[in-house]
Amino acid sequence: MPVSALPLNNGQEVPWIAFGTGTALFSKDAADAVRVAIENGFTHLDGAQVYRNEETLGAGIVASGKPRSELYITTKLQKLQPGQTPKSALEGSLKKLGVEQVDLYLIHQALDHPGKLKEVWKGMEEAQKAGLTKSIGVSNFTVDHLKDILEVATIPPAVNQLEYHPYLWKAIQPVLAVHKQFKIVTSSYGGLSPLFRGKGGPLDPIVEKIRARLESTRGQPVSDGQVLNKWLQQQGVLVVTTSSKAERIREYLDTANVPELTAEEISLIETAGSQQHKRYFPGNWPSE
């Protein structure tokens, strides 16, 4: 199944959906989950140093038998240890992953580097120039964080990965404006949180109404999750998601084949989302 790709601001492309190895797989052996994800169609694997499972992410890639050239691997910089640089930290990740280069390397948290973001970003650029990663970017960056590094950047971030779903749609608009200005791809994690962490909210009846319409149009089942993932996909957002179930993995990838939401349906989701502000991963963001 072809997975559509998003253009990055450096001429590279990134598959629009990624299999994440954080949250449920945090500090756990991710090998089997990664193998199942690849065998069922995922090509983009989203890891991080802080997840403490890069070795097993690498083992899952080997177990899948998929050539490295057909995969897209992301990892993220954790809080730097004394004497460490973003480049040396990535060298450690490459050894664990068993690859010579990642496709995307992100600063995981601006909050990990108080007062040092400019310096850390220059270190990220050094890692890219050394050929250890094709693209660099950030994660959980606010407007102020982005402006801080853009003052010194010779390479602008290609991606900003952050919690993004309809209950944050209103709050995220200032960040999206900066993304648009610098052609930074927005990447979403926790995109389905309103469905299972926030049941009973104003979004529920809207999603159900749209789901029923899409199912009728398509003539085969459409899930609530596909409705929200389609909403993200139609905005050109990179979706990071995860599941231990092969059936659910296939469902996520099948979102690409679900009919498009109408302009009215997109507006309904955003209006309902604006009625409630809810952040499900508050520790990743400065207090609001």
Q: pLDDT of 212-234, one tens digit each?
A: 999 999 999 999 999 999 999 99
Our answer to whether residue 108 is catalytic in this structure is yes
Residue at 116 is within a domain: yes
Q: Quote the pLDDT of residue 136.
A: 98
Copy the structure tokens of residue 249: 């993995």
Active site residue 51: yes
E strand intervals along 26-98 = 44-46, 72-77
Domain assignment present for residue 266? The answer is no
Cα–Cα distance measured from residue 188 to residue 171, given in angstroms and rounded to the nearest whole number: 14
The single residue of 44, 51, 72, 145 carrying the catalytic annotation is 51
Q: How much is the pLDDT for 267?
A: 98
Catalytic annotation, pick one of 44, 72, 108, 189? 108
138 phi/psi in degrees, rounded to 5: -140, 175
Classify residue 147: in a domain, yes or no. yes
> Considering the domain boundaries, does residue 122 fall inside one?
yes
- Domain containing 42 — which CATH number? 3.20.20.100
* Residue 55 within any structural domain of the chain: yes
> What tens-digit pLDDT sequence spans the chain (288 residues)?
344 899 999 999 999 999 999 877 777 888 999 999 999 999 999 999 999 999 999 999 999 999 999 999 999 999 999 999 999 999 999 999 999 999 999 999 999 999 999 999 999 999 999 999 999 999 999 999 999 999 999 999 999 999 999 999 999 999 999 999 999 999 999 999 999 999 999 999 999 999 999 999 999 999 999 999 999 999 999 999 998 899 999 999 999 999 999 999 999 999 999 999 999 999 999 877
Dihedral sign computed on CA atoms, order 81, 279, 142, 169: positive
How many other CB atoms are found less than 10 A from the CB of residue 266? 16
Sole residue written with tokens 């089997």: 32
In a domain, 180, yes or no: yes
Task: Give the pLDDT score at 1.
Answer: 35
Q: Is-above-0.85 flag for pTM?
A: yes
CB 232 within 8 A of CB 187: no
Do the domain assignments include residue 206? Answer: no
**Number of folded domains that form the chain:** 1
199 part of a folded domain: no
Expressed as residue numbers, the domain containing 90 is: 5-193+231-256
